[in-house]
Amino acid sequence: MLDDRRARILQALVEEYIRTGQPVSSRAILEASGLKVSSATIRNDLAKLESYGFVGQPHTSAGRVPTDQGYRYYVDHCSPARLRSATRARIESFFTEMHRELSKLLQETTGLLSDLSTYPAVVVGPGLGADRVVALHLVPLGPTVLLAVTIAESGRVVRDVVRLGRDVSEADLNRAERILAKVYNDRTLEEGRTRALALAEEELVDSVRHVVRAVVDTLTSAETTTQDLYVGGTSQLASLWEDLAQVHSMLALLERETVVRQMVNQPGAGTSVRIGAELNVDGVELAVVSSDYEAGGHGIGRVGVIGPMRMDYRRTIKLVEEVSEGLGESLGSG
């Protein structure tokens, strides 16, 4: 834990670096922090902050820049900014006037958040969650592979490949399909899973039990992948990273749905800020700010932005929270 003066010096350094993108001098920190101390004191405290791993010095004669650890300390101790009334009004108006199907609403929400934040935005759909299953079909793709087709009450259709690991007869497959359709009907995935596993233990022959368990396991593990992913604002990339190689790396990353989902999707985590090495992404320095939203009876989704570590965290955190809250209220009232 830093004492008050060094915490203020670090805050001033981070905010000045976010603003300018250039190494920050002790004189600039003195002016920005408002501290009534000498430049020598600032330099001594910067040396201490560097020894703690909070700041670095690109060149001997240059100012300092924040490290991943410095950003983390700053984010953990800063409070979200207040948004301008016009920004808040725009968010409120968007969700008041937007009456679209779920997928269209989520996609256009990425546009709103990206436009307001100036960073690429991501929305993860709520998945099936509390959605009730109205039909479940098994389609053989080969001797040991089948397709489980789940149809939800909301109209969503989800297809999951199930690998059985051994041959299954047509009769056993048909029997398993009838059982699964019955136990999942008018139930959530979790409710159907509990009923199907209990039935498998009690009443089924081994070959049918094997199919039932394989389908149940696949549906359970695939629950997160039923959450649709929407990305907007990739046109912002060129203005965020001056290095063209970084822009290309970001474009390639945003095309990798699994990676993007892992960076943003932390259901139940509330508001989260992940910085640099915490994201385990090579080739580009990143930060992700994300927050949950509740989609009425459809479960929990997530809203976030992906940007450089030199992002305006205080404003971005508030924007993400306001948009996630507006989206949740819009879906909950539907």
* CB 132, CB 116: distance < 8 Å: no
Q: What percent of the chain has pLDDT over 90?
A: 53
Give the per-residue pLDDT at 103. 79
Instruction: Measure Cα distances from 116 to 29, 119, 283 in Å.
Output: 28, 8, 26
Give the per-residue pLDDT at 226. 60
Q: pLDDT for 200-229, tens place per residue?
A: 666 778 888 899 999 998 888 766 556 788
User: DSSP code of 87?
Assistant: H
Give the per-residue pLDDT at 200. 65
Find residue 41's DSSP bridge partners: none
Q: Tell me how far apart the alpha carbons of residues 117 and 78 are, in angstroms, rounded to a whole number.
A: 18
Give the per-residue pLDDT at 75. 95
- Helices 39-52, 4-20: inter-axial angle, 10-degree rounding: 90
Most confident of 67-81, 124-138, 276-290: 67-81
What's the pTM value of the predicted model, to 2 decimals?
Answer: 0.76
Residue 306: band (very low, low, confident or very high) from pLDDT cuts 50, 70, 90: very high
Find residue 232's DSSP bridge partners: 121
Q: pLDDT for 86-119, tens place per residue?
A: 999 999 999 988 777 777 889 999 999 999 999 9
Find where tokens 């984010």 sit: 75
Find where tokens 């009450």 sit: 153
For the chain, list the domains and their CATH numbers. 4-77 (1.10.10.10), 85-126+227-332 (3.30.450.40), 133-225 (3.30.390)
